[in-house]
Structure 1
Amino acid sequence: MSSDTLAHGHVFLAPGHERSERKTWAVIWLCGLMMVAEIVGGTMFGSVALIADGLHMSTHAGALLIAALAYTYARRHATDPRFSFGTGKLGDLAGFTSAIILAMIALLIGYEAVSRLLSPVPINFNQAIPIAIFGLAVNVASAWLLSGGDHGHHHGHGHPHGEAEGEDEVRRVDTVWGPLVLEVFEDGVPPRFRLHDGLGGVEPASAWMGATVETQRPDGSRQLFRFVDRGAYLESIEEIPEPHEFDASLSISRAGLEEFHEVSFEEHDHGHGEPNAKTHRDNNFRAALVHVIADAAVSVLVIAGLILARQFGWLWIDPLVGVVGALVIANWSFGLIRDTGAILLDMNADGSLAKRIREALEGDGDRLADLHLWRLGPGHLGAIVSVSTPATRDAGFYRAKLSRFGALSHVTVEVRPS
């Protein structure tokens, strides 16, 4: 029996972690300033409604504070060895906590709304409507600060380094001369292999006796790719035909020493299916945004209810709107609790990926005896695989097969003779 683990660090934070942290703190400052202004203004002008809205704003800021503190703590302790799998899950814990708070808010709104349906109370429309409009403006501004035009994904066919989607066609190779990167590059040009050190260059091609790549596709066809010096990198002369799904044998020769490396490429999915979206989703940021959007949605409902109640004398419509708002918030809260709870309990993070891992490893007598797949943080998955094989193969053989899955950040392979 043999086992092996991919060399890795334990920093499993989202690529935009610090940017999301700054946005969340900015919204907290906005809510804090509005809270102080409302409470001070309500005290000076004797408006109980204004004070009440200021206190409501304080609960809003408190919920966002959970997200901001989680971002800050996770960043500062990302390399702390006490966390066996890093601090990437701290955002999911914060999201779960925020979801519980949202559920409590929904219950309170629902209770108050039902109470007012049974025992209607007079409404001061001249105070309530402007305050509701003011609250909506604050929530819209908060949502704008949080989103900031960032959609969370980069679309298009080019694949720059470091982006979650681009990593589908980038493979790291550890050689005796140091780490190298073999990638399929197609950003505005016909797709070709590029070989470099990952930092933008390699030694002059004259230092290399040769580098070639031979691909083998699922149908058994093979193709040889030769490389030429492009200054900052070595590039294949031949273009790579679609689809980009094949096993690649990289041969590097230098100073009388020759190395061979096996890597696999998989045709990446340009769509954003639900399993992949959940893998990369930042639930901490999602929880903060849900708080803001939920508050904005309730503000819109409240404004509509108040206007109808004032226009037609329907006092019952205001608490009815409260019931609807409570149901909307409860639904969003349930979705957050379901998704973050699954992550905290280490449920299978991606059923589709688990199926593709099985397909990649099984064959030629090999059988996947055990698979554990869980989320370590946004865009980072951990996997423990146990393969039963009648052949003499080491863990490195199966590591190469798994290298095509860019989301696998922590992989342990166990090989058992069948």
Structure 2
Amino acid sequence: MLNNKINGQRLWDSLMEMGQIGGTPKGGVCRLALTDLDKEGRDLFVDWCLEAGCTVRVDTMGNIFARRAGKDNSLPPVVMGSHLDTQPTGGKFDGIYGVLSGLEVIRSLNDHNIETLAPVEASVWTNEEGSRFPPAMVASGVFAGVFDLEYGLSRADLDGKTMGDELARIGYAGEVECGNREFKAFFEAHIEQGPILENEKKTIGIVTDAQGQRWYEVTLTGQESHAGPTPMLSRKDALVGAAKIIDQVNRIGLSNQPSACATVGLLQVFPNSRNVIPGEVFFTIDFRHPNDQILAAMDHELRELSQRIADEQGLEMKFEQIWHSPPVPFNKNCVDSVRKAAETSGYSHQDIISGAGHDACYISRVAPTAMVFVPCENGISHNEAENADPADLAAGCDVLFQAVVEQANDA
């Protein structure tokens, strides 16, 4: 292992500069996928990569790959990366830490005049969050063959704008084929987005697996009617039905502890008037568990209870699972590289399972993959209050640096 370190101050400064793009009054970031702000962030990243001597390519899903040449450029590259897009009330570190850690590794290789055997790349994956264009991780999913290109480009936001149209509008509809190329390895650095590392006072999380996820969209249709003259017993109130299902979502999550998570995060009520009984409600459900059998049992219970509630309330129901990402075991060789780097660098560490989905989950289907976690303050993420210690961020990037160099020089 190398004794060289990355430049932690430069990494922090880059994070803070990028955080100004879409910065919010509360100190967070709103940089939704394929908006003008996303374009501004992409442009800055590309400029920095070109300054670092990289060649930059963009594929048909807008994924960006910045390559630092190796001694043998016929070898598949070791790739690092994550995403630039955020939640509407996101923070400065989710996703972008993995992108800029990749760039910092390349900058540090330049600083130390290290030539790797295989090329090394820093990458940006389009629409990881799925906040504007559901589902999540669309572009890495196309790269890995989970979705086809037509599906990816046709994903639409709530205004009906598609990913394909918005990629073209901001100038990131690349011509390089999305996928169908080999990676030697893929590494993603990320804040944990949970409290485990901070609670255990550990600097590095060695991610061995990622939880499985199921996303649903539900529409309940009743009958809107005047809130005053309509008797309670004759109502078909779609919001009451939704409330009963939401309560069951929460109960299912609580009954499958310690690992289950169950969330309703988006709710739309029609006609959304204070003196009209809601005639239609649309809402989303997010189920997660590291055991796919338990996740399937949660799915079965949810479907059965939702239909029963809809029938009892006299409502029509459209229930659709729009995404299923099974639990992911990461590559042992890559995980071992992360563990070795943490041990050699002297950072406290522990094995950990990712509770969130990441682009690495899909890339693991087509390339040896691992992740590096660092703590975030109070475990808070997807929130403007999201924060991380500069020393922890630098440590995670150090581990990434060591692991990438080891893999890039492993013939």
Q: Does the TM-score normalized on the shorter chain lie above 0.5?
A: no
Determine which structure has more spread, i.e. the larger CA radius of gyration: 1
TM-score (norm: length of structure 2): 0.27
